[in-house]
């Protein structure tokens, strides 16, 4: 009986039916004892029926005990081998589950760092208020997350013409606030026609939207109805009533001529693109980049985009 129980546990340890230290210990103890008892019992019964035992069975009984001990020793060796196999299997299993746990924890941490893309609106104004008194963008840094829809309203009321231009890497995009009669700083002449700079720059040669003064391969099409600029706007005389109200992102440059020579004008263009690629990209004014009229678009990497490529615009 002991041998049967020992063999059952021994088998269980090998096939991992009864894993655990208790089962292994039981197999280690029960199998050799049971085997020895079984062998000894069989030999003893055999010796009782033999005639030689009655006259002098002492030597026969002694050799049977030694044989039983030998069987027990062999069984112990086999049991130790099974113990080693079982420990090794358990160690491997623990190692694999540890790696899996760390991997899932890292994935969860990365996913928690990601953010769902949103629409971000930036009003970029012309200014000349720094120490040089030269033309600048205000603000001159745009920071968004990868996947965000970036709405740009580029405003100026200067006598010089200006552009907001991204021509770096993935972001080919321009709002051309050049109005007929404004001064072209580069040619020292007046702009002959709105959105034109006398062929000096190819601002409308790539991916033109088909809509006046706004262009670029990164330009998003106008949705119908047009999406509104996230931040309300006013001060445009043609808008009635002249109160703060939502302005559509219509891929248009709006020009209101009041008195250009005196600087009384209002020019603003509105358009949008999606920040599909992380990195740092320069935007600049075609006319005044050498004077320092440039800034930087900072697109922060977004782990959300690794699993939501369509939402982030990273698939075509």
Q: Which residues contact 72 (CB under 8 A, 6 or more apart)?
A: 32, 33, 35, 36
Using the rule CB under 5 A, is 272 a contact of Cu ion?
no
Least gap, CB of 285 to Cu ion (angstroms): 3
- Using CB under 5 A as the binding rule, whether residue 288 contacts Cu ion is answered as yes
Is 213 a binding residue for Cu ion by CB under 5 A? The answer is no
What's the closest the beta carbon of residue 163 comes to Cu ion, in angstroms? 7
CA distance to 70, 89, 267, 269, per residue, from 138 (Å): 94, 66, 15, 15
Minimum distance from residue 98 beta carbon to Cu ion (Å): 59
Q: Which is nearer to Cu ion, 254 or 288 (CB)?
A: 288
- Nearest-approach distance from CB 251 to Cu ion, in angstroms: 20
Q: Give just the sign of the alpha carbon dihedral 230, 255, 131, 168.
A: positive
CB of 315 to Cu ion, least distance (A): 36
Q: How many residues are present in the chain? A: 316
* C-alpha dihedral, 299 to 301 to 303 to 304, nearest 10°: 10
Please give the residues from 141 up to 180 whose contact with Cu ion meets the rule CB under 5 A: 162
> What radius of gyration, in Å, describes the C-alpha atoms of the chain?
43
- Judged by beta carbon, residue 61 or residue 290, the one nearer Cu ion is 290
Residues in region 119-138 near Cu ion by CB under 5 A = 135
Pair type for strands 141-145 and 294-300: parallel
Pick from 182, 214, 252, 293: which binds Cu ion (CB under 5 A)?
Answer: 293
Chain residues binding Cu ion by CB under 5 A are: 135, 162, 285, 287-288, 293
């Amino acid at each position: 009986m002991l041998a049967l129980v020992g063999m059952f546990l021994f088998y269980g340890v090998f096939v991992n039916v009864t894993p655990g230290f208790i089962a292994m210990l039981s197999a280690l103890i029960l199998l050799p004892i049971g085997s020895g008892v079984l062998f000894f019992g069989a030999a003893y019964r055999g010796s009782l029926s033999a005639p030689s035992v009655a006259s002098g069975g002492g030597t026969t009984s002694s050799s049977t005990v030694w044989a039983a001990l030998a069987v027990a020793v062999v069984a112990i060796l086999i049991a130790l081998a099974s113990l080693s196999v079982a420990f090794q299997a358990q160690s491997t299993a623990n190692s694999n589950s540890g790696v899996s746990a760390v991997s899932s924890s890292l994935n969860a941490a990365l996913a928690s760092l990601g953010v769902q893309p949103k629409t971000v609106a930036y009003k970029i104004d012309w200014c000349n208020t720094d120490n040089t008194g030269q033309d600048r963008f205000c603000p001159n840094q745009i920071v968004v997350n990868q996947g965000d829809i970036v709405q740009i309203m580029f405003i100026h009321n200067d006598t010089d013409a200006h552009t907001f231009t991204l021509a770096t890497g993935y972001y080919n995009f321009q709002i051309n606030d050049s109005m007929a009669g404004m001064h072209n700083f580069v040619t020292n002449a007046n702009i002959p026609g709105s959105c034109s700079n006398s062929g000096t720059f190819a601002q409308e040669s790539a991916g033109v939207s088909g809509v006046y003064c706004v262009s670029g391969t990164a330009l998003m099409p106008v949705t119908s109805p047009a999406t509104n600029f996230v931040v309300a706007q006013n001060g445009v005389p043609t808008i009635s009533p002249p109160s703060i109200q939502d302005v559509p992102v219509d891929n248009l440059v709006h020009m209101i001529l009041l008195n250009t020579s005196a600087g009384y004008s209002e020019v603003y263009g509105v358009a949008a693109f999606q920040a599909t690629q992380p990195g740092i990209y320069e935007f600049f004014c075609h006319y005044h980049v050498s004077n320092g009229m440039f800034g930087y678009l900072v697109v922060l990497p977004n782990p959300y985009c690794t699993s939501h490529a369509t939402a982030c615009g990273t698939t075509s």
